[in-house]
Amino acid sequence: MGNVLEIRDLHVQIDDKPILKGLNLTLKSGEIHALMGPNGSGKTTLSFTLMGHPRYEVTKGEVLLNGENVLEMAPDERARRGLFLAFQYPSEVAGVTVANFLRTALNSVRGTELSAWDFFELMQQKMNFLEMDESFAKRYLNEGFSGGEKKRNEMLQMLLLQPKFGILDETDSGLDIDALKVVSKGVNALRSEDFGALVITHYNRILRYIEPDVVHVMIDGRIERTGGKELSLELEEKGYDWIKEDVEAARGR
């Protein structure tokens, strides 16, 4: 039996301002879902809520990972249970090398100590796959990295940690075509019956390289449309206003 991430009637607010207003979504292992929508629709709020950012207050709803409510878990426990978030804007950490950060993260998620030799062998294998120079591992985490380097580092983390579900929050933001292809290569390498992903994006561009099984459109804190890959192509052609107009008409505005 595969893994299931189920979001039920999720309501979230920031500083007493409602952002998510009853969001429902079910993601199963073996599936890639794309979540699209205009700025301010709540996409990043969803990703941070899933990983337990303290600023985001859940006022109603559940997020179940294989039947367990992850909203009752600390962020590190969510990671150990198999959730991974690739940030749109990864933080810089001065004084901590990429290699040390990755080894600490991997040992924490695994719950066992991987020897330095085994870790570096594994890391080198993944770096080669992502076409990353070995000197990258000695640099301080994200310090002075280009946008593409930061996103490659996020993919390196994901390949090492092997999560059940990856949440990619606008990972394609600011990437040139070569970096976009490498990021997509990392996601596609994990694609299996043991892994599912939620690819959050404004644009169809990344979906040319990571083919989604399902496409959702979020408007004003709710998912208002769900379809196949053809929906992303329609959005690229027509934008989001036609869905907004349909939603407003349905609500009698």
State the residue range of the domain holding 14. Answer: 4-250
The CATH number of residue 61's host domain is 3.40.50.300
List the structure tokens of 131: 């076409």
Strand partners, 219: 222
* pLDDT score for 8: 97
What pLDDT is stored for residue 178 in this prediction? 84
Note the pLDDT tens digit of each residue in 97-108: 999 999 999 999
Is the pLDDT higher at 97 or at 203?
97
pLDDT band at 1 (very low <50, low <70, confident <90, very high): low
34-85 pLDDT per residue, tens: 999 988 899 999 999 999 999 999 999 999 999 999 999 999 999 999 999 9
> Shortest CA distance to 244 belongs to which of 47, 32, 39, 9?
39
CA distance 31 to 29: 5
Tell me the pLDDT band of 217, cut-offs 50, 70 and 90.
very high
The encoded tokens of residue 47 equal: 């990703």
Long-range contacts, stretch 178-181, CB < 8 angstroms, 24+ apart? 178/148, 179/147, 179/148, 179/151, 179/152, 180/205, 180/206, 180/209, 181/209
How many domains does the chain contain in total?
1
* % residues pLDDT > 70 (the chain): 99
